[in-house]
A and B are shown apart, each in its own frame.
Chain A
Amino acid sequence: MELFIDITLLTFLCITALAITVIRKLFCAVMLAGIFSLLSACLFVSMDAVDVAFTEAAVGTGIATVLMLAALNLSHSREKCPPYQPLLALLVVCTTGAVLVYGTMDLPAFGDATAPIHHHVAPRYIEQSQQEIGPPNFVTSILASYRGYDTLAETVVIFTAGLSVVALLGIRDRRGGQSITTDRSAMKGYLVLRVVTKLLLPFIFLFALYVQFHGDYGPGGGFQAGVIFASGVIIHSLTLGRDRTLKAFPQRFLTILATAGVLLYGGTGLAAMVRGGNFLDYSVLGATALAGQHLGIFLVELGVGVTVFASMTLMYYAFSYRKEA
């Protein structure tokens, strides 16, 4: 039964991908990309990768669609036809694909218990993370503690991406003069939408906080929470108008927040060094090793969440406020 569901989802995924490559209208491609994301989230769920599915769900439908539309807004509505027949490119792609398929033949079978991946570090993560780190969801322990360096680098990458988008596109923060009531970017004609948005926004922010602080026990963590929080801000700005959003979350505040998140992460690592441990070794932070790990993971996840939220919102500002101002 589950196998059949997997196969069906995979078929849908292939159809969507093919349609995206064939369709030249970029708007349709964006819509299909939304479906692609929904399908891949379903596949991740059926493969038991709950945290990955959670990330896909947080990023895929909301932020990705919004950013693609905003980029589309700044460019043309159709993909340009290449002036030549890309036969060579097709050949290269087919050859690469064939080589990759040939390569997968040497891989262990799906679900093979004797595969090397299950015997390297995975047993230690699964069996001992409860005693060594603490959180019941060992994905969180791996991301925040065992692989703390990787996550630090990822956070820095997101921070850098946010900064570069802002540096390249710029945000025109129009101050004074314009009052909220004359904000033309609000959806005046959609009263129902505005009311429902106001109703839902508190729940979205609350759910983001739940994801942030419940990441030790269930799926989720700083990254997903930041993205959900940013989605809330984007919904606010889309329906209630840009001026109100800029008033609630000014650009300067977000820039400081993004920096503060990365500094919090790095600072936790440095604090561990000051207390006599290695960089990002949280065990020395508390009275016992477990308490230290708990505190360290809490701070680190907070740093990730804050940075992701601020960077995503800054990117959205940069993309969508460029033309309107």
Chain B
Amino acid sequence: MEITAIITALCLVLGSLLGITGGIGVYRLPDFFTRLHACGITDSACAFLILSGLMFQTGTSLETVKLLFILIFLLITSPTSTHALAKAALNSGETPLMEQQQTQQKREER
């Protein structure tokens, strides 16, 4: 088996695993900010692994360039929207879970 095929397979499997981890995180984690972190981190990493895995299969052609551009645009836009989302949520009064717990603890101490 060729070395590129092995690299592609590795990248795809790793990327898929990361994606599923993110999906489970988005579904299971308790509040918005924890979910956002699950989604934000895995989205970029999963896209990076899968797309670069595919790039090994195209050789040097138009497809490689297109994949590269998809990857670059995803790597720019995905963290940006995650950042903007978190900022908007924080601005609109959504409190992270840790902060909620801290205020609750303080109340109990009193």
Contacts and interface: CB of A to CB of B under 8 A. Distances in A.
A192 B81 CA distance: 9
A71 interface: no
8 contacts: A189-B87, A189-B91, A192-B83, A193-B83, A193-B84, A196-B77, A199-B76, A200-B77
B80 interface: yes
Interface string B57-84: 0000000000000000100110010011
Contacts of A193: 80, 83-84
A192 B91 contact: no
Top 9 A-B pairs, shortest CB-CB distance: A196-B80, A193-B84, A192-B83, A190-B84, A192-B80, A196-B76, A193-B80, A190-B87, A200-B76
Contacts of A203: 73
A196 B77 CA distance: 8
B95 to A, nearest CB: 18
Contacts of B84: 190, 192-193
B76 to A, nearest CB: 6
Interface in A165-216: 189-190, 192-193, 196, 199-200, 203
Given A190-B84, A199-B76, A203-B73, 14 more contacts: A189-B87, A189-B91, A190-B87, A192-B80, A192-B83, A192-B84, A193-B80, A193-B84, A196-B76, A196-B77, A196-B80, A200-B73, A200-B76, A200-B77
Interface string B36-76: 00000000000000000000000000000000000001001
A200 B76 CA distance: 9
A193 B77 CA distance: 9
Contacts of B77: 196, 200
Contacts of B91: 189
A200 B83 CA distance: 17
A199 B80 CA distance: 12
A199 B83 CA distance: 16
Contacts of B87: 189-190
Contacts of A190: 84, 87
Interface string A37-54: 000000000000000000
Most buried by A among B76, B77, B80, B87: B80
Contacts of B76: 196, 199-200
